[in-house]
């Protein structure tokens, strides 16, 4: 896996760790926010990829700085590495929906400090940064959250925006021209089935689209695939808003 810095302003930095090789498991991204020498992980990943994620992060930041972790929902590709992270850094405070706290403990690390997020969301303090935990329920999990950093204009969007891309893909939707509509059209083909099949509710989808359309977003960062930037952020929100989801029910 590879770590790439995509935002930096003073002591405020965002990193993406993503896969560049063929794997036996679903390709997943891990995001890390470092503020004032403290680090927060977003969806720290599954048990299977922990060694690769840890190795990539060591190249860009000291593991001892990891103090918090945000877990968007309960899936194994999101959080089954929890006991391994806890063994390395018992000081980590974990933030996830109050609905999933007891379930996530099934992964192990019963002594880990896991804080439940109320359904309406919350504010998460990270050094001098004030992050917003935004409800994204039923997208695709019944208790689901995204994380917004208003200073960096980063929205970590979990499975929303996910695309199952070919091996060796870029960190961004378009390598050269971030305003390219044709590049977006080529990329979104890798996201369409995922969203139709994994997102169960058109009502929940529209609520999310209305909510995030009001935010100032430069980087929309999903847990699978590539980062949307520039005009591609609005393109994705508009595309998702128009998409008919929950397609497993005839």
The structural domain count of the chain equals: 1
Q: Is residue 249 part of a domain?
A: no
Q: Is residue 247 part of a domain?
A: no
The residue range of the domain holding 191 is 2-242
Q: What is the CATH number of the domain that holds 16?
A: 3.60.15.10
User: How far is Cα 70 from Cα 23, in angstroms, rounded to an integer?
Assistant: 24
Q: Is residue 250 part of a domain?
A: no
| Mean of the per-residue pLDDT values of the chain | 93
Q: Is residue 30 part of a domain?
A: yes
Q: Is residue 79 part of a domain?
A: yes
Instruction: Say whether pLDDT at 10 is over 90.
Output: yes
Q: Is residue 40 part of a domain?
A: yes
Give all strands (DSSP E) within the chain, no chain letters.
2-9, 12-18, 30-35, 38-42, 66-70, 93-97, 113-117, 122-126, 129-135, 145-149, 154-158, 219-222, 228-229
Both tokens of residue 231?
């005009």
pTM of the model: 0.95
How far CA 161 is from CA of 135, 155, 228, in Å, comes to: 15, 11, 8
Query: Helix or strand or coil: residue 146?
Result: strand
Mean pLDDT of 108-118: 95
Q: Is residue 235 part of a domain?
A: yes
pLDDT tens-digit series, residues 141-177: 999 999 999 999 999 999 999 999 988 888 999 754 4
């Amino acid at each position: 896996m590879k770590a790439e810095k995509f935002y930096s302003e003073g002591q405020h930095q965002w990193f993406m760790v993503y896969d560049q090789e063929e794997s036996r498991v679903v390709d997943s991204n891990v995001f890390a926010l470092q503020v004032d020498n403290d680090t927060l992980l977003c969806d720290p990943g599954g048990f299977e990829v922990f060694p690769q994620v840890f190795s990539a992060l060591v190249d860009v930041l000291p593991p001892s700085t990891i103090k918090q972790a945000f877990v968007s929902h309960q899936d194994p590709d999101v959080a089954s590495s929890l006991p391994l992270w806890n063994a390395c850094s018992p000081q980590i405070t974990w933030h996830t929906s109050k609905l999933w706290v007891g379930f996530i403990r099934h992964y192990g690390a019963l002594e880990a400090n896991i804080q439940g997020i109320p359904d309406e969301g919350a504010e998460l303090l990270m050094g001098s940064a004030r992050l917003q935990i935004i409800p994204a329920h039923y997208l695709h999990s019944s208790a689901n959250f995204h994380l917004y950093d208003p200073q960096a204009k980063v929205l970590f969007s979990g499975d929303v925006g996910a695309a199952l891309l070919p091996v060796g893909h870029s960190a961004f939707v378009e390598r050269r021209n971030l305003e390219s509509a044709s590049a977006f059209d080529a990329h979104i083909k890798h996201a369409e089935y995922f969203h139709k099949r994994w997102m169960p509710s058109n009502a929940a989808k529209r609520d999310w689209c209305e909510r995030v359309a009001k935010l100032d977003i430069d980087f929309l960062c999903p847990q699978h695939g590539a980062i949307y930037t520039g005009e591609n952020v609005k393109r994705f929100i508009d595309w998702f808003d128009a998409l008919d989801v929950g397609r497993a029910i005839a």
